[in-house]
Amino acid sequence: MEMNADTTRMKKAPLEKDGQVPKKTGTKKVLRIGVVDSISGNKTVRVVVENLTKHPLYGKYVRRRSKLLAHDENTKAGLGDTVEVTQCRPISKRKSWRLVRVVRTAAGATVES
């Protein structure tokens, strides 16, 4: 039984201009901005993210909400604050988001970071 050389040949990765194989980049970071709805536990906040989606049949824009549990390591976020969260590895059963920064406090002051 003879093996064909074309079927056993493995495909090579495309080379860049300098002849190096490009490094694999990680997955794209998912960032969401929402409002802190409740503070449950020591380092957990619930963030409500609103987005507008167009109804497929009627064309009307419908407001959709997602409730995300986010990990707040330094307990920086307060109730009513606008925060930015990013997706991360699962920390618990429902918590797989991490607090990046507080965009605006509930009082309305912007936070510089």
Domain assignments of the chain as residue spans, ordered by start: 27-104
pLDDT of residue 37: 93
pLDDT digits (tens, 9 = 90+) for 83-95: 999 999 999 999 9
The matching CATH number, chosen from 3.20.20.140, 2.40.50.140, 3.40.720.10, 3.40.50.1100, for 27-104 is 2.40.50.140
Q: How confident is the model at residue 111 (pLDDT cuts 50, 70, 90)?
A: confident
Three-state SS annotation for the chain: CCCCHHHHCCCCCCCCCCCCCCCCCCCCCCEEEEEEEEECCCCEEEEEEEEEEECCCCCCEEEEEEEEEEECCCCCCCCCCEEEEEECCCCCCCEEEEEEEEEECCCCCECCC
